[in-house]
Chains A and B, each alone.
Chain A
Amino acid sequence: MKRFRLNQQEIVFAVFAALFLVFSILLKGFLTADNMLTLLQNVAVLGILGLAMAIVVIGRGIDLSLIATLAVPAGLVLQMVQNGHSLPASLLAASLLSVAIGLVNGWLIAYAEVPPLFATLASGLFIAGLGQAALFQLDVVQWSDGMAGFERLGQGSILGIPTAIVMFAIACVVVFILLRFTRWGAYIYAVGDNPFAARVTGIPSRPIIVLQYVLAALIGCFAGLVMAASVNSMPTRVFNSTLIYDVILVVVLGGIGLSGGRGGVVNVIIGTLLIGTMLNGMTILDVPYAGQNLIKGIVLLIAVITDTFLNPRNEETAQQGDI
């Protein structure tokens, strides 16, 4: 007989559904189409970053330099345009910088075999420092006239849906297709599930690892551009914030195990929705800041504890690299 069991993804979805229900009943103005769009819009950038992190985590890695790749290339675009370069040239420079960051990360991890935690921690610091020391005049890079029109990437709406949500949706579709329908996607799962088996079966595991980090950096750069467009500036100091924890949270909470090889785009969407619902409900309730952290912490703990109770770990289920 098959025992009834929820996996983490379903638990988080249940928590999300419960929260959503409670807010819908108790909060006037929560369950309106307008507010739903705002909710999604507010977590769109987080969601896009979640996708980038998901690709790396599925491949049994982690990318702590993601926030730096969000801030620095996007900031570079704004700074270059401010200094009089053309927008296309600036975008090209930013993409090249992102690819370079991804290649260096990937090379360090795949070929130099530095653990991803340390490699990306160091490279993130390096990129942020490079931005501060060499690229930007000020931490907050302001919008300039040369950027006119580009703000539509993060502001306004397409067919009534805020553009940031559309961007998140596009990113979701692209990553979904990549992971599910391409050979590279299948290889990423294989490398994440068991790197040694993957290598033995002839999968080019090292280039696949490099690919993961390049993709993550490019998606991070894209998220940065959406963010900059949405607030009309690039606060590059975001590197010093706790955003990276939120991104990891979205991924892990959504049910993508840090041990790799599991999960997909749906998990990122669920994790993003849960965080979005919590933030939106608490803002409507006007919960003080300290209270918000408390509630966030409690909800997350409940999700994690429930998972541990329903799916206890043992020698069979635990994997090497489990955190």
Chain B
Amino acid sequence: MVRVHRFALGTIAALTFASAAVPALAQQGLDEPFQKTFREALAGKTVAYVPVAMNFDLTEGWYAGLKKELEPYGVKFEIRDPNWNTNAGAQAVTSLISEKPAVMVIHNPDVQTYAKLLQRAENEGIYVIQINMGSAYRSSAFVGANWIEIGERQTEGVVKACEGKSNKIAIIQGALSAAASAYTLKGVENILAKHPEIKVVSSQAADWDAAKAKAITQTVLKQNPDLCGIVGFWDGMDIGTAAAVKEAGLTGKVFLATSGGGERKGACELVKNGSFDLDMSYDVPTQAAQMAGTIKWLLSSGVKPGSVKGSEYTTLIPITKENADSQTTCWNLSDLKK
């Protein structure tokens, strides 16, 4: 009896204590120890962005995505638009080095031009993130498409579509000086090496130009009306390729594989209306989010620029008739800018 009484007393005492203590804890809150340093590491920092040019879906998308993620933390943006001029781009990077932003996001026009400059930038204490087009210098981070994989997967699609047909294919390359084009071609070659039955009837560079791509495709189709597939290197250019296929009345008969940033009007809409059969998308908003994440990590980690180096290859989204209707496959530039 005494024991029971004691127990009851003890329980009551304990409950009373607990009921007094719990609200007190809730009122005080717990300080998360790292967020303050994170905020301080980002606030007032400058991110400089040097694309090859603004005004097209990829570079506008990256910019909008980065801004959306980082501006709320007080990160300032500086944009240098060389408008397709490689020299102007190199000058922009050079002048940025002396202005010392915290991070530079660089979209290389080719493998060599900026390589030395980017190394110098990291030596001077600027983190360098390269987007989609890497240079010969490996910087803190590379975020972007694996062009070899793009070429391989496009060609696999075309080879598969050619089964039981003429096995004749055409390749519409981008500009010869662009590494993206050369890498993609390597991917194409990798697959073709495994398929000796495939005959490449034409492999021409169209300079990323839709009108040129159309002209080449028209001529090739007139010479080879039994063509079963085309590997195109960029959806912005392959609008012309698709127009030529359509005019020849061969839509659906010639399998057209291409690649791009997955903007709705330039990708999903064109897959839906049958212009493209496969569009390998390196989803631009995801790339932007990955870059933003990397920037947050680098700034908050305080690692010395150039001391860590890594790559984040983009997981590709193959856009076909099956998923072109989905709301999440493609993105709208206008929404990203909101």
Residues of A bordering B, CB below 8 Å: 29, 32, 34-35, 38-39, 41-42, 45, 132, 136-140, 142, 144, 155-156, 162, 227, 230-233, 235, 237-238, 240-241, 279-280, 283-284, 286, 289-290
Residues of B near A45 (CB, < 8 A) are 211
Q: Contact: B219 with A35, CB < 8 Å?
A: yes
Report if A138-B56 is in contact (Cβ < 8 Å); known contacts: A230-B211, A289-B204: yes
| B218 CB-CB contact with A under 8 Å | yes
B236 and chain A: residue at smallest CB distance: A140
In Å, the complex CA distance between A38 and B215 comes to: 8
| B203 CB-CB contact with A under 8 Å | yes
A287 and chain B: residue at smallest CB distance: B204
Residues of A near B15 (CB, < 8 A) are none
| B223 CB-CB contact with A under 8 Å | yes
Residues of B near A240 (CB, < 8 A) are 83-84
Q: Mark B208-219, 1 if CB is under 8 A from A, else 0.
A: 011100111011
Q: Contact: A283 with B216, CB < 8 Å?
A: yes
Q: Contact: B219 with A280, CB < 8 Å?
A: yes
In Å, the complex CA distance between A19 and B214 comes to: 23
Q: Sample 24 A-B pairs with CB under 8 A, ordered by A number.
A: A29-B222, A34-B222, A35-B222, A38-B222, A45-B211, A132-B55, A137-B333, A139-B55, A140-B56, A140-B236, A144-B265, A155-B246, A162-B247, A232-B243, A233-B210, A235-B209, A235-B210, A235-B211, A279-B215, A283-B215, A283-B220, A286-B202, A286-B204, A290-B176
B213 and chain A: residue at smallest CB distance: A231
In Å, the complex CA distance between A241 and B237 comes to: 14
| B240 CB-CB contact with A under 8 Å | yes
B175 and chain A: residue at smallest CB distance: A289
| Cβ contact of A156, chosen from B60, B214, B223, B247, cutoff 8 A | B247
Q: Contact: B209 with A238, CB < 8 Å?
A: yes
A242 and chain B: residue at smallest CB distance: B207
Q: How many A-B residue pairs have CB under 8 A?
A: 90
Residues of B bordering A, CB below 8 Å: 53, 55-57, 60, 83-84, 176, 201-205, 207, 209-211, 214-216, 218-220, 222-223, 236, 239-240, 242-243, 246-247, 265-266, 269, 275, 333
Give 6 nearest A-B pairs by CB, closest first. Answer: A42-B215, A231-B210, A289-B205, A283-B219, A231-B240, A142-B265
| Cβ contact of A284, chosen from B219, B266, B333, cutoff 8 A | B219
Q: Contact: A286 with B243, CB < 8 Å?
A: no
Q: Contact: B56 with A139, CB < 8 Å?
A: yes
Q: Contact: A283 with B265, CB < 8 Å?
A: no
Closest Cβ–Cβ distance, residue A119 to chain B (whole Å):
22
Closest Cβ–Cβ distance, residue A285 to chain B (whole Å):
10
| Cβ contact of B202, chosen from A39, A136, A238, A283, cutoff 8 A | A283
A37 and chain B: residue at smallest CB distance: B222
Q: Contact: B53 with A231, CB < 8 Å?
A: no
B221 and chain A: residue at smallest CB distance: A38
Residues of B near A34 (CB, < 8 A) are 222
Q: Contact: B333 with A41, CB < 8 Å?
A: no
Report if A38-B333 is in contact (Cβ < 8 Å); known contacts: A132-B55, A235-B210: no
Residues of B near A139 (CB, < 8 A) are 53, 55-56
B81 and chain A: residue at smallest CB distance: A132
Closest Cβ–Cβ distance, residue B110 to chain A (whole Å):
16
